[in-house]
Chains A and B, each alone.
Chain A
């Protein structure tokens, strides 16, 4: 098995059409930044959701990270807009 779980929230989820998906981790991908182009290629909705990575926050295994954060097989990688609770 060489999969990761990718999750999307709020308006990003509406663009991708899925809140969670299982993705085979490409062998050349070691970081979130390297993963993004592979996700963008999945559909127009994914491309739209991930169009402006400056406006997107990233978590790996439920801890905040950034484009340099390492991604390994079995990880949960989440993309979401800046938070608006409270």
Chain B
């Protein structure tokens, strides 16, 4: 086991956004991933809450090094849309979270992906336009935009325990193919997970979910290295003020 000096300045970092509708369980999910325990007191996320996880990149191989994975959990409140775009700069990975018991949150994942990828500071009215006029053609455009960005995506469905209660016979709710999370995951070649944030065993080490998560983080770090040509920017003391803001 190699010993790494435990100084933050010597470990690289990647930034992963966790987005989804309000109330799907993003904060619980992030807490579960980072602390390995269930979040008891949950309240609405205002703005953005960050958790940092140390991911062992390429564990068990010569290229093994630890990486900081910053999980930026963005509050899904509709009225905060105008200011959220501040957090979307220099993103290396996206985790899309939806509620398995609420089909609409799956459909809204597309709007979230568009919002993050295009870093739009959109008006409240434009959301309706996207929802009502969404069709295959626009979805093709979305896939193009996505491929141009090449940011790894992971799709996570929460409230597996709720789903088991209300629909004990069905496995996953059947949504129309155009709008389901699975079709979105296919288009972005993303992995799909279903967890219950109340159950620590969902992401226990060695479980299928944990493997997929680890693979996702590895892909994110790969993308960052590839993007910069060398192992990514070291965490320096200077904050980066690369603000891209568009004002009318």
Q: Do A and B bind each other?
A: no
